[in-house]
Amino acid sequence: MKKISLCLLVVLFLSTVIYAEEWISFSGKGEASPEYEIFKSNSSSVEFELEIPGMNSKVVDNYSRVYIPEHTKMDSTGFPEVPVVS
């Protein structure tokens, strides 16, 4: 029983180290989702301000994969995975 518990702890530790993410801050704030404020909206236009405080980065196969919390990414075949805020 002790060996199984020890093995599970080692696996959990290694999985957190391997899948670790790094927060890259743009505004000096902590990890947060993008925020937006709509100033004006009518049938022909929308004025708004968008603040993206940062993004997460994770190394995958010699590349850094970036994404923005709670948002999707463009992942069409043959194109880079680019974070999308919509």
The DSSP string of 10-71 is: HHHHHHHHHT--EEEESSS--S---EEEEEEE-SS-EEEEEE--EEEEEEETTEEEEE-TT-
For residue 45, what pLDDT is reported?
94
- In the predicted structure, residue 27 carries a pLDDT above the cut 90: no
How far CA 25 is from CA of 18, 37, 55, 58, in Å, comes to 21, 20, 7, 14
* Residue bearing the bigger pLDDT, 31 or 44: 44
Model pTM greater than 0.75? no
Give which of 58, 50, 16 is closest to 33, Cα–Cα: 50
Vertex 80 angle, CA 86 and 37, to 5°: 20
Average pLDDT score over residue span 17-21: 61
pLDDT at 16 over 60: no
